[in-house]
Structures are given as structure tokens and as C-alpha cells.
Chain A
Amino acid sequence: MTEQDWIDICSVDDLQPDSGVCALVKDKQIAVFYMPKEQAVFAINNYDPFGKANVLSRGMIGDLNGAPMVASPLYKQHFNLQTGECLDDPEVSVEAYSIRINNGRVEVSL
């Protein structure tokens, strides 16, 4: 792989501590989560495959067995924020994306 193509989304100040926002990147809805204590950011697809709606960015976050996760606001399935895997149903996953904080800006790579 060559140098990743980082796309600027917003400022870190636009993120909500310990919760999510949604960004539109190349026609994709990206759910972006922020844990200020660890200065960690995560990006997965915003589409909830169970509820079939673009809502994951509005879920509550935290960790389960050490893995950072979001709980869908519709039917409460948990998704691993690093891998996009559904923790309740290994058959299901959502896309996860590379994301970083760079000089106070949040950048994602699809």
C-alpha cells in the first residue's frame, strides 16, 4: 500500500466527547467517535445493518471486554469501533475506516 489518501472532515473541537457525529465523505456516511481521555478517534459506516437506517453515529459508546464499541440506538447491537464487527452476531459487520487526528484536524481514509 502506498501513502494513504487522508481526507479532512472537521476540527477535533467539532467532535462530541464520548459520543459520535456523522460525516459525509465521498457520498459515504461515516460515523466518527471520539474518546477524549485516550485522545482516540474511530470511524465506521453509519448504516445500521439491523435497523437498516443511518444511525450508528447516534449510538452510545464505551467498551466491552476491553474492545471499544458503539451500541446501535435502534436495537442495541454492539459494533467494534476498530474492526466494525458486530459483537452480538459474528456474521455481521460494518465497514471500518482509518482515521487520525492531525494538527487538531480529524482526517479519514477510505
Chain B
Amino acid sequence: MSDKQTLVVIGNGMVGQNFLVSLMESEISEQYEVVTFCEEPRPAYDRVHLTEYFSGKTADQLSMVEEGFFENNNITIHIGDKAESINLAEKLVISQQGVEIRYDKLVLATGSVPFVPPIQGKDRAKCLVYRTIEDLEAITTAAEHSKAGAVIGGGLLGLEAAKALTDLGLKTHVIQFSHRLMSAQLDDGGALLLKQKIEALGVSVHTNRNTIEIVDGEQHHNKLVFADGDELETDLVIFSAGIRPRDEIARACGLKVGQRGGIVIDNQCRTSDPDVYAIGECAVWENQVFGLVAPGYNMARTVVADLAGDAAEFEGADMSTKLKLNGVDVASIGDALANTEGCMTYTYQNGQEGIYKRLVVSGDGQKLLGAVLVGEASGYGTLLQYCLNDIDLPENPDSLILPHRSDESVGLGPDALPESAQICSCYDVSKGAVCSAIEGGCRTVADLKGETQAATGCGGCAALLKSVLDCELEKAGLEVNTDICEHFSYTRTDLYNIVMVEEIKTFDELIEKHGQGRGCEICRQAVGSILASYWNDYILEKSHLSLQDTNDTYLANMQKDGTYSVVPRMTGGEVTPDMLIALGEIAKKYGLYTKVTGGQRIDLFGARVDQLPLIWQELIDAGYESGHAYGKSLRTVKSCVGSTWCRFGVDDSVGLAVELENRYKGLRAPHKIKFAVSGCTRECAEAQGKDIGVIATEGGWNLYVCGNGGMKPRHADLFATNLDKETLIKYIDRVLIFYVRTAERLQRTSVWMENMEGGLDYLKSVVIDDKLGIGENLETQMQHVIDTYQCEWKTTIADEEKLKRFRHFINSDEQDDNVLFVEERGQIRPATEEEHQHLKIAEEA
């Protein structure tokens, strides 16, 4: 046995998991054997973004646990097993399934449960709560034969639940006990506007309603009866009337609990037993329960520090919050309800645009105490910083909420923030931490996200993070040099625009007018790609040849020994037996190593340059065309077999994949582009790992964008749902050409979008709402590319002049004697360096 102590964590929700991650990052993790109990059937997932489950996110995507986390850190997790009792005297935890563990330290992270008011009929069928993935599954099932749903509770979670019901296609009601929505965060004015906005989206909001009973309905399954005698028929009823800490296990073992529930903790998050901590929503600190994740994470860090013997205190938490409810921006900061004695308020209301903003300032007008923002919340970051850091307000505080109609500069420059100012509250990233990451070499928001985790939680601080970055870079005199290389003082986007506006057709013309020197592999390739995207000329034209990387110049992929691989197109991964046989015969004839790729086609390796045209002649005769595996261009559209064959398929994924691949094949882009189409939400084609992913649903096609595998995998974001094919193609056309026009060189769609100001929402506004008015233009350009498609190999083979280049020596028919193969598993492979020497010696002997 090891001499390690045992640390048990009860509960693997967001806070429990965050504690484990913080602990593993700390040096003291070495001192503990860690065991955790997780009552739910899956480890921690993102409850904050739970509604996204209804718009297509899967349980896997919501997971907060990195693959292999428990295994790699030697943490024992009992999934689906609830810790049932604690024996404080013997330091024992006993689970429902009979696991008994003796602990040295115990951390309770049992979370909370939705509060269900004690009204008659609350346990009737279709009366549910909204907290776990299982709850959501129950809601989905209950919604199947239902037409209407009512959420009891008009707070933050209640409104999210209402969004979920709307997404499920139900006529949705929100029943609020008090006279306004979000009564803890919003004042009357803000709440009224929110109500109007939500009602405009088709949700009926009923305020001042005290539900006293649920009975049989006539048209619907249930009927709510209110204290004033009114009634409302509905099928589903979702209770979302606040949360209650889960303290039963603590209560039973004798730990001190608060008057209104919750496990009492001190500033170190210790309970009444010094070896037992409590964190998150199950804990009560100075009579407060914190129903947000950020304070829970803060408690988790406090416990890790306390275990390490470092001084750390939990000192309460700011409950300011910013969110988007049904597309409506809502934010609440500090003393939003103006409860501070002697405070003053400033209010701005814009009825036409639906904006409401209120500032609560101290009696002397010096400090910001709180704020409410509805309809437009871009000032949240600045206002929060004023409030949290006690920064003196400008002379006219109302300038902070009045619209700026001139170019006067308002708002707080990031420079005014102290180093200690918290930029990201989800991950507690201070301005100081952001600055040191910038000193350490971070130059983009994406860099900072990776390095500090800032803006990777709720994302609310992204704009502030960007302004800190810009400000710091400027101060350091680090003008970020965005020049593509020493030959052009422009970005790729600039060059693209120049080519477009001046209708430039060759590299020589462009460098003569706008650049200097002879160019290099960076600008040549970038310009080659721009010209190809825009004009779509044959890339081996004499004027373009020198702009292509070796893969493009030989229309094949160079491998480590200088030989090439060949990938013919198999649209959607579909191939007839005859064509497959032909491919096999060709591979056999030329002795090529043959491997199936991840993109559902076949790669043939070991071809010499002089063999390429011969191989392609035979491939073309067999009906194949270029697969563009060598280009920064559309590669493949992967698909599952779809509704044609699959028992579960909802739509014809192969048919769509073939159509999309034929539509976009040959499109040159800043980087390679991959697609996939899945025929149902089982997602066998892994569409959510692709630049463009399409998933069939009962209601139409769901479009995902900007995902990728590779070195830094990223799940694609849901872009639009329930599309018909025409709209789907329109959106893809627009997304792709917008990417082609505005991305930097070798920037995948994921990084492109992450670096775009406004991110996904901005991209949606350009593509779906056509905010820039360029939608048609983008489609026209795509149509040009489609109309001018050619199989580059077919064109090449037909041109004697072009074929001259396909030989190793310009002055001899000899071959490269450095290319040597050996056999492995029945096929060739390049000889290793050692084998090279061996073979050479053998030859000379």
C-alpha cells in the first residue's frame, strides 16, 4: 500500500470536476489517492449550456471531462453510484452500491436540486424539472405527444427551460409568482422590456400568478389552477422555481446545515468537521447559497489551496451575470435593484430598438454600484470592471449607457484597470495573468484562450479580453505585424481585395504593382490560392506554375522520400465494384502501397514523377477524376450510409454528400476543407469534427461549421437547424466564399472564426441575415467556381507541353537512385536510412 492519504469527492458535477482539475494541476495531487462518486450515469457536463442539448449538442459535447482524465490521473470514479452516508467518527463514506471508503479528507460537491413548490398535483405525469441530461430526455419524451408546455418560475433557469420548450415546438408559457421576470436580477423597467421581447418570440408570460393546484385538463394533459381562480391548460409542466442545496447526506451525518438548508462553510470552505469541505451549490457561506458556477470554482480553488497549506479565503462572490435568453441580451451587475441607501439611478430607454439600461451609482456619484442591461449588453465588461474595482466614474456617468452618436470615446480603457482586475470570472483570470501571457508571446485572442482559458467559459469577457490584448500590444510597441511576408505589406485578406478590385490575374502583375522583390514560398502560394479561388484558372498555366507548392505542381502529394501519393476522388466515399477493381489493378501494376484514408477514399503511395501521368491516364480511363488531395481545397465529403440502407437513417446522407462534393470540388481555399454528412443524429460520419458538417433530422438538415480534427481538434458549432436543401447549399456557399475571402493563409475555418470579431454570431449575421448585403455576391462567386471546374489531371494529360515536366531529370530518362523500397506486410514502404546504407553496400559488393 502507498503512504498516500485518501481524498474522497462526493459529486462529479461542474464544481466537483473543477475541483479535481485544480487539484491535479497542484503539486499536492501526489499526496492523495483520489476517489470520487458520481450519482449521474455520466461524469461532469456543462449545465450552463444545457439548452444546447435541444439544439443538437450531444451529451458527449457537453462533457466537461477531457478524454482519459480519470485514467491518466489515477482517479477512481464510481459512476452511477451515489454516496449514501458518511460516518464522521470513523471517516467512512458508504455508497448505495455498498462501496466503503475510509477518507482522510472529504469534499462535498453534491450540488442542488430544483425546488418544486408543494402544490397539489405536482407529481402528475408530464410534471418535470430541468437540471440534468436525464431531465432533458424526460422532457423530450414528454413533449412528443404534447402541444403546450408551462414553466413555473420566471427566473434565469425558468427562462432557459422556456427556450427549451420552444425549441421542442411547444406553445410555451412562463408562470411567474412575482410581478416581474428575473426578479432577483432585474428592476421593473428591465423586466418589462424582457417580457415584451420574450412575448414577441411567441412565449406567453403570466406574472403575478400563484399556482395552487395541477389537475386534469380538457384539451391538454394538465391544467394549472391559480390562486385567483384563473386556469391555464398545458401538457408539460416544468418546475424551475429556484434551487435547494443538496445537504441530506451532510444533515444525516451531523454536519452543521444552514437555517434554510445548505452545508455551512467557513472562509476556507471547511464544514463543521475540519476534514470535510463543501463547495458549490450545496454549500452555504454567510447565509448565502451561490447558484452560479464561478463562485463554485472559486471555492474549489480555495480548498486546493487550503489542502496545500496556502493561505486562501473564499470571500463571497459577485453575482453579476450576462446571458442571452432566447436571443435577448440580458445583464445584471452588483446592486441592480438599487437597494443601497442613498443611491441614485440613471436610466436609458429606447423603445424603438428595444433597449433598456440602468445604472445605480453611489450617492456622491463617484462609484458604480450596479446596473441592468436588457436588449443590448455590450457595455457589460466595462461596467462590471467599474463596479468590481471601485473605479471612479467619469463626470457624466450616463455617458456609459447613452448611445455614442459621435466618435467621442466613452467606456473604460483597459489601461485603467488594475492588474488584479478579474477579466474572466469563469476561470478567474486576472488582467495581470492576461498581460503576462501577452509578454510570454500570445498575440491573438485565440492564443490567449489557449494559454489562460480566459473567455472559454461563458465567453462573456471575449470583447474585454480583446481590448486588453490590443492595448497591451500597442503599449509594448508591438504593432502586430500582419504583413504576409517581406514581399507584401498586406494581409492575405488585403491581397484578396486588391486582386478582386483591380482584377489582377497574375502574381507578376500583383508584385509589380503592390509588392517588392521576387516573392517567396509564402506569398507565392498565398497569391496562387487567391488567384485560383477568384479566377479558378488551370493552376499549371505557365504564369501560375511557380505559385504552386510541389504538391500542386505535380498534382500529387510528395512523401518523405520524394515519391508521390495519388488519391482519386470517390465522392461521398461511394465506389462501384468495377471501379474498385480497376483501382486495384492500377495499384498492382505500378506496385503502389495502398491505404484507405480517413476521408473514405484510397491513397496510392510510392509513385515516381514520371509514373504520375501514366497512372492518371489509366485512372481517368477507368472513370476517376482528381481528388485534389494535393491542394488547399475541398478534400472529401464523408458520409454514413444514410436512410437508403440504415435502419436509423432519417435522410439520404450519401446522396447529399455526393451532391455537395461534386458542387464544391476544386474550390481553392486558404487551407484544406473537409465536409461530412450524417444521416441521423447518431452522427456516424463525424460531421461535427469537420469544417462543414451536415446532420439529417426529422425537421430538415442541421448545419455545423468550423470544426476540425488534427492537432487542435475543435467541435463544429451549430449554425442553423431544420434547413431545406436549397437553403443549406446557400448557407454553405456563403460561408465558404466568405472564408476564402477573409481568412489568413493556412488558417483553418475554426481559427478563422475564433479570431473573427463577433465570432459565430457575426458569421451568422453575415450569412443568414446578410448583414453586409454581400450574400448574393458570395453565391455568384461560388457559382463561377462551380461553372469553371475542371479535372486538373484530365487537362494535364491532354497537354504534351505540360507532361514534359513529369520526369525526374530534364536531360536523362534515368530515375532517382535514392528512392528505395522494402516490403512490409505484403506491400512496399520507403527504406529506412539504415536499410539504405545496407542496400547500397550490397549493391556495390
Contacts and interface: CB of A to CB of B under 8 A. Distances in A.
Contacts of A66: 517
B810 A62 contact: no
B816 A23 contact: no
Interface stretch (B44-52, B555-563, B664-672): B555-563
Contacts of B486: 64-65
A98 B730 CA distance: 57
Interface in A37-79: 37, 47, 51-55, 58-66, 68-69, 71, 73-74, 76
Decide if the interface of chain B is mainly helix, strand, loop or mixed.
loop
Contact of B546 (A9, A18, A21, A53): A18
Contacts of B811: 9-10, 23-25
B809 A58 contact: no
B804 interface: yes
A14 B811 CA distance: 9
Interface in B533-567: 542, 545-546, 548-551, 553-554, 558, 560-562
Given A54-B818, A61-B546, 14 more contacts: A14-B810, A15-B810, A18-B546, A19-B545, A19-B546, A22-B808, A32-B810, A35-B518, A53-B562, A54-B808, A62-B519, A63-B520, A73-B550, A73-B558
Contacts of B549: 60, 73
A55 B562 contact: yes
Given A16-B546, A53-B818, A60-B546, A23 B809 contact: yes
A55 to B, nearest CB: 4
Interface of B: 486-487, 508, 517-521, 523-525, 542, 545-546, 548-551, 553-554, 558, 560-562, 804-805, 808-812, 814, 816, 818-819, 833
B812 A76 contact: no
B804 A14 contact: yes
A29 interface: yes
In the complex, the 9 A-B pairs of residues with the closest C-beta atoms, listed nearest first: A18-B546, A73-B550, A62-B520, A60-B521, A53-B562, A71-B521, A62-B519, A21-B810, A63-B518
Contacts of B808: 22, 54
Nearest to B523: A62
Contacts of B551: 73
Interface of A: 9-10, 14-19, 21-25, 29, 32, 35, 37, 47, 51-55, 58-66, 68-69, 71, 73-74, 76
A17 B517 contact: no
A59 B769 CA distance: 44
A58 B553 contact: yes
Contacts of A53: 560-562, 818-819
Most buried by B among A18, A32, A54, A69: A18
Contacts of B518: 18, 35, 37, 61-63, 68
Contacts of B521: 59-62, 71, 76
A64 B818 contact: no
B810 A9 contact: yes
A15 B542 CA distance: 11
B680 to A, nearest CB: 43
11 contacts: A17-B545, A18-B545, A18-B546, A19-B546, A24-B811, A54-B819, A59-B550, A60-B548, A62-B520, A66-B517, A71-B520
A58 B548 CA distance: 10
Interface centre among B518, B542, B819 (most CB of A within 10 A): B518
Contacts of A73: 549-551, 558
Contacts of B561: 53
Centre residue among B519, B808, B809, B812 by max chain A CB count within 10 A: B809
